[in-house]
Amino acid sequence: LPRINPFDFGDEPIYDGQAAQLACMVRDGDTPIEINWTLDGKPMSPSLPHNIGKLGPRTSILLIEPVTPRHSGTYACVATNPSGKTIHEATLRVH
């Protein structure tokens, strides 16, 4: 199974208009590895501004800028390979 390095949005509050970023790095697992992001269990909506970038075969970066209250929720990195699927979550609270 893929293994994801734990991640979160950090200890500092995130305010409306700021930027937020998560990096999902799959440290173990056979390639190919597909990495997707979800918000509250659903695929990321194009109507909610965000960017997703890939860094090599094992890392995906989610960038939200600017953050709005609509971005609040639980984000999950879903890593899938031929052996199965692993999910790691982090919650964003916009102040």
Tell me the C-alpha distance between 91 and 17, whole Å.
Answer: 17
Residue 1 contacts residue 29 (beta carbons within 8 Å)? yes
Arithmetic mean of pLDDT, 35-58: 96
What is the CATH classification number for the domain harbouring 33?
2.60.40.10
Tell me the C-alpha distance between 82 and 54, whole Å.
Answer: 20
- What does pLDDT average to over the chain? 97
Total domains in the fold of the chain? 1
Question: What DSSP designation does 83 have?
Answer: T
pTM of the predicted structure, to 2 decimals: 0.95
Provide the pLDDT confidence category of residue 18 given band limits of 50, 70 and 90.
Answer: very high
pLDDT at 26: 98
pLDDT digits (tens, 9 = 90+) for 54-93: 999 999 999 999 999 999 999 999 999 999 999 999 999 9
User: Which H, E and C letters describe 23-81, residue by residue?
Assistant: EEEEEECCCCCEEEEEECCEECCCCCCCEEEEECCCEEEEEECCCCHHHCEEEEEEEEE
Domain carrying residue 20: 3-92
